């Protein structure tokens, strides 16, 4: 046991004295020390219930013969951070979470870990830490929020943002907006659609790092407390069997994650997080791999924002395992991968049937024969860009229109609110990439405003930043190279024609090459005055096409 280096022998008497200062008994010291990484706080709705999850994990670990010890991880609520400087501090926390968890685990010699994340950056950040540490590790999340109910229909946070657009356009009264405000987010948990948090929690199940139901059992359900107890027991079983994180997170496991990502119609942010997690495992995932998997993977689910079903519906339909079993009917899942259960993926998903073909389409009747995410390339995105294809209106899968160019989210939002964006336009928002933002802000406000104003089937948005998992429409993010690194997006001018062809994975700026060469020759990317953590981040971060990983 790693903790033996801290606990036993005369030379470690000073260490034991500090354990005694914690009130730890000799019997507890004699057991394996299991770190429980708690993302609990009182500002993120998806984390307000994690104290109860952590307590259940503690019980599970203790029942199975371990000594549970809790330490914290930070968390940012992307919804609260949206639309202001706070969003610059969202993606950057992924690496802070990974780094601080690595530091705590190594400094204190834990034998195993249970990670308790929930929202957008905590799940990938802790998966990155798990890969680095390579200890027996289980994930159990705080769970998804229940759907809201407004005027007899289910709703969610994405509808809330779009309601603001409707109000701005005069299509909704202030009283109606306030009704949405009070009902859209009715419980604790990660927001109720297939947004980034729920995408990553579901993919943690697929990777084999979480137990069945980790991604879908609603946060308020007592079943999640039971799941947390079983997670505590499972990590002790892993410790006994010698199963470690990188035994589970293999190349085949990431293949499965990308496959189910396409079937579920996950957030485009998964194209940032999966490559970053794989990188920590010594595995390369590039955007070309994602496109090749998408080309042969049917899209089976249209959860919000792509459709009118929610995480609670996916849970009732059989959850992630039912989706995997459906995909496995055509041999699309690597079934030999090890998981935290001590069993293979194939053993875990056997007999997990699809209980609702309206929520999980049968493999022979998909929404589309290709996956929910597409990677687009062309002169405007030489290194790639990403769109949630499953949430794009059919009329916008192929689109050509004049550019309306803005150098920040705020500029674009002001123009949208002022009615300066019209049908046919392609809104370009630049200097919002990993370096240029810095921090690669999600931009749910502009996309939701476009939708709320009724322009979702006639206006496209393109950015070197990123879009929220709650975004729907022809919204293309992660354009690489970004403007701050001298990418072509930096020289797009108002009125330039931009061509989008999602079925053929193309994104082109239709301007004569001689003109573009002249523009690029004279192009000097804008620089921002930075300080503190954002300054360091901008100096070290890679492009969105590479997962915005930190270059050592």
Rounded to whole angstroms, the Cα distance separating 442 from 81 reads: 9
Strand partners, 429: 406, 463
Alpha helices per DSSP H over 22-83 = 26-29, 50-63, 78-81
Distance CA 352, CA 343 (A): 15
What is the spatial distance between Cα 348 and Cα 156, in angstroms, rounded to a whole number? Answer: 31
Q: Looking at the annotation, which residues are catalytic?
A: 468
- Write the secondary structure of 202-235 as one string of H (helix), E (strand) and C (coil): HHHHHHCCECCCCCCCCCCCHHHHHHHHHHHHHH
CA distances from 416 to 129, 224, 232 (A): 40, 42, 49
Residue 188 has, within 13 A of its CA and on its CB side, a CA count of: 23
Q: What is the dihedral of CA 303, 447, 374, 328, to 10 degrees?
A: -10
Cβ neighbours around 8 below 10 Å, total: 14
Beta pairing, strands 398-406 & 426-429:
parallel
**Rg of the chain in Å (alpha carbons):** 23
- 332: tokens are 């699309």
Q: In what order do the strands lie in the sheet with 137-139?
A: 67-72, 33-38, 112-116, 137-139
Beta-strand relationship, 497-501 and 398-406: antiparallel
Would you call 9 helix, strand, or coil by DSSP? coil
Nearby residues of 12 by Cβ (< 8 Å), 6 or more positions away: 5, 6
Question: How far is residue 200's CA from residue 122's CA, in Å, rounded to a whole number?
Answer: 9
- With 0-12 / 13-18 / 19 or more C-beta atoms within 10 angstroms meaning exposed / middle / buried, residue 529 is exposed
The whole-angstrom separation of Cα 47 and Cα 58 is 17
Helix (H, G, I), strand (E, B) or coil at 471: coil
Q: Rounded distance, CA 238 to CA 214, Å? A: 17
- CB of 206 closer than 8 Å to CB of 324: yes
Q: Which two tokens stand for residue 54?
A: 């952590």
Q: Are strands 374-378 and 153-155 parallel, antiparallel or unpaired?
A: unpaired
Q: Tell me which H or E stretch contains 461.
A: strand 460-463
Q: How far is Cα 367 from Cα 492, in angstroms, rounded to an integer?
A: 35
Place of tokens 């810095």: 438
């Amino acid at each position: 046991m790693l903790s033996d280096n801290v606990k036993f022998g005369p030379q470690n008497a000073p260490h034991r004295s500090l354990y005694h200062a914690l009130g730890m008994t000799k019997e507890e010291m004699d057991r394996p020390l299991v770190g429980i990484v708690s993302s609990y706080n009182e500002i993120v709705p998806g984390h307000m219930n994690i104290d109860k999850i952590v307590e259940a994990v503690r019980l599970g670990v203790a029942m199975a013969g371990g000594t549970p010890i809790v330490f914290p991880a930070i968390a940012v609520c992307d919804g609260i951070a949206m639309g202001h400087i706070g969003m610059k501090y969202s993606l950057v926390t992924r690496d802070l979470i990974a780094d601080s968890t690595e530091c705590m685990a190594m400094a204190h010699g834990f034998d195993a870990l249970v990670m308790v994340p929930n929202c957008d950056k905590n799940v990938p950040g802790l998966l990155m830490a798990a890969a680095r540490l390579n200890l027996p590790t289980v994930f159990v999340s705080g769970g998804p929020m229940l759907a809201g109910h407004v005027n007899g229909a289910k709703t969610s946070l994405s509808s809330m943002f779009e309601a603001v657009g409707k109000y701005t356009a005069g299509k909704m009264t202030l009283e109606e907006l306030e009704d949405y405000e009070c009902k859209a987010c009715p419980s604790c948990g990660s927001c109720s659609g297939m947004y980034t948090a729920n995408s990553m929690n579901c993919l943690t199940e697929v990777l084999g790092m979480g137990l069945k139901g980790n991604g879908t059992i609603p946060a308020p359900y007592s079943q999640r407390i039971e799941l947390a107890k079983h997670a505590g027991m499972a990590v002790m079983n892993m410790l006994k069997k010698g199963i470690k994180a990188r035994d589970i997170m293999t190349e085949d496991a990431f293949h499965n994650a990308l496959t189910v990502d396409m079937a579920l119609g996950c957030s485009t942010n998964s194209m940032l997080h999966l490559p970053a997690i794989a990188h920590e495992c010594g595995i390369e995932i590039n955007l070309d791999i994602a496109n090749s998997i998408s080309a042969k993977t049917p899209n089976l689910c249209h959860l919000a924002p792509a459709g009118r079903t929610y995480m609670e519906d996916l849970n009732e339909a059989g959850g992630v395992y039912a989706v995997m079993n459906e995909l496995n009917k055509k041999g699309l899942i690597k079934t030999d991968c090890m998981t935290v259960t001590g069993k293979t993926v194939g053993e875990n998903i056997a007999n997990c049937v699809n209980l609702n073909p309206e929520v999980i389409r049968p493999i022979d009747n998909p929404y589309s024969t290709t996956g929910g995410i597409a990677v687009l390339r062309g002169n405007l995105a030489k290194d790639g860009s990403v769109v949630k294809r499953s949430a794009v209106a059919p009329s916008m899968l192929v689109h050509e229109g004049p550019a309306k160019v803005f150098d920040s989210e705020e500029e674009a939002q002001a123009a949208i609110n002022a009615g300066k964006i019209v049908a046919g336009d392609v809104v370009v928002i630049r200097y919002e990439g990993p370096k240029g933002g810095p921090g690669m802000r999600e931009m749910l406000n502009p996309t939701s405003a476009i939708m709320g104003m009724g322009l979702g089937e006639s206006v496209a948005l393109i950015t070197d930043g990123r879009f929220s998992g709650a975004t729907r429409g022809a919204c293309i993010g992660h354009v690489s190279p970004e403007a701050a690194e001298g990418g072509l997006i930096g020289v797009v001018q108002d009125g330039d024609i931009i061509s989008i062809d999602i079925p053929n994975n193309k994104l082109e700026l239709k301007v004569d090459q001689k003109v573009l060469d002249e523009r690029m020759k004279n192009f000097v990317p804008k620089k921002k005055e930075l300080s503190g953590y954002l300054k360091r981040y901008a100096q070290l971060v890679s492009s969105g096409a590479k997962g915005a990983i930190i270059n050592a």
